[in-house]
Amino acid sequence: MSDSTLEQLKEVFTRAKAEIAKVIIGQDEAVERALIAIFTSSHALIEGVPGVGKTLLVRTIGQVLSCEMNRIQFTPDLMPTDITGTNIYNLQQQSFDLVKGPIFTTFLLADEINRAPAKTQSALLQAMQERLVSIDRDTHKLSPHFTVFATQNPVEYEGTYPLPEAQKDRFMLKITMTEPEREEELQLASRTLGSTSPELVLESGDVKAILAEKHLPQCKRLLQQLTVKEELISYVVDLVRATRDHESVLVGASPRATQGLLLAARATAAMAGRDFVVPDDIKDLAVPVMEHRLVLRPEFEIEGLTPAEVIGDILQQVAIPK
């Protein structure tokens, strides 16, 4: 990969983060991982308490990348057709017309996805895997850059429905958005009292689009040129397979986790201006890529063990390639 090509790719990431920072205060790690999901044609699960900017993050990224964004508020009474759309009979034309649902977009924000039952959640399965939607026996194509950002509250479980394993496995990584540091919250408070509150900045047009949706394929092709050594591919495979053999794990990470970890590590290397992946790229992303995929045995869950701790243990056990 030539230096000029690498610089182009790094500049896209740098400019995107700079524009997003005009609205999102702090949350640098969350911003980077959201961009990773987009540029690797994947999906992300965003977890955080209310008020940390989950919805605002996705809206801002849509504006920065000039991509259409739709939002669905998931509720217990939401039906699959409310997501996909349906055919409505047109009396004048005496034919059925397709009324497309909000899933026909580039970035889809599934807000509080765990508040809808499994029947409704399943409306996203085909779209997330194949970027296709089936409505009344007809199949419709979605944007090749279709990305789902699903949010959920980690502390409120009343009236929620846990995501099925097949659903969670389709999310490449879990983005955790935490409360801001004191200095960041002071900055947010000051901006809120003036004319530079995050929402007003986003609506004012001060956030510039750095590229058009039609340029996304070129960026993704550039990303594919980064080098991943065979030793590191073996390292990722060994990490994922180790989750299936760990004594505390009932269901380990799937082959999708292997793919996701490699793709995410490659995108991280590009952000750092490198044309090759290093072991630290993989270690840094092991938890966000695999954490939501692991199902622990009940006896270990009762003891307070978490998937992140299991992955940390595995990282210490599996030898890093030299």
β-partners of residue 140 are 133
The enclosing H or E element of 99 equals strand 95-100
Average pLDDT over residues 251-278: 93
pLDDT at position 3: 62
pLDDT at 214 over 90: no
Number of residues in the chain: 322
What is the predicted pLDDT for the residue at 305?
93
Q: What is the model's pLDDT at position 286?
A: 96
Cα 187 → chain centroid: 27
- Does the structure show a pLDDT above 60 at 73? yes
The predicted pLDDT at position 192 comes to: 79
Average pLDDT over residues 163-183: 90
User: What tens digit of pLDDT does each residue of 231-242 get?
Assistant: 999 999 999 999
Residue 263's pLDDT is what? Answer: 95
User: Residue 130's pLDDT is what?
Assistant: 94
Could you read off the pLDDT of 174-207 as tens digits, one per residue?
999 988 888 888 888 888 777 677 777 777 777 8
In the structure, what pLDDT confidence band is assigned to residue 35 with cuts at 50, 70 and 90? very high
Place of tokens 């999310």: 171
Rounded average pLDDT over 280-304: 94
What is the rounded average pLDDT of the residues 119-148?
A: 92
Q: Which pLDDT does position 208 carry in this prediction? A: 86
The answer on pLDDT for 166 being more than 70 is yes
Q: Yes or no: say if 68 and 142 are a contact pair by the CB < 8 Å rule.
A: no
pLDDT given for residue 2 in this prediction:
54
Domains and CATH numbers, the chain: 3-224 (3.40.50.300), 226-322 (1.10.8.80)
Average pLDDT (20-40) is 91
pLDDT at 155 over 80: no
* Alpha helix (H) residue ranges in the chain: 3-20, 28-39, 54-64, 80-84, 118-121, 125-130, 165-168, 182-193, 198-204, 216-223, 230-245, 255-271, 279-290, 298-302, 307-317
Is 265 in contact with 239 (CB distance < 8 Å)? no
pLDDT value of residue 48? 86
Pair of tokens at residue 133: 């939607």
**Hey, is 294 helix, strand or coil?**
coil
Contact between 268 and 284 (Cβ < 8 Å): yes
pLDDT at 1 over 60: no
pLDDT at 281 over 70: yes
Kindly report the average pLDDT of the chain as a whole number. Answer: 89
Name the strand (E) or helix (H) holding 296: strand 295-296
Q: In the structure encoding, which two tokens stand for residue 215, read together?
A: 């340029």
Mean pLDDT of 139-157: 88
Residues 6+ apart with CB under 8 A from 138: 98
Residue whose token pair is 């997330």: 128
User: Kind of pairing, strands 147-152 and 138-141?
Assistant: unpaired
Q: List beta partners, residue 228.
A: none
Asked whether the predicted pLDDT for residue 4 surpasses 70, the reply is no
Query: What pLDDT score was predicted for residue 44?
Result: 96
Q: The dihedral of CA 62, 129, 117, 294: what is its sign?
A: negative
The predicted model gives 197-225 an average pLDDT of 82
Percent of the chain with pLDDT over 90: 58
Instruction: Tell me the per-residue pLDDT of 79-130, one tens digit each, with 9 for 90 and over.
Output: 999 999 998 888 888 788 888 999 999 999 999 999 999 889 989 999 999 9
Nearest to 188 by CA among 198, 178, 201, 179: 198
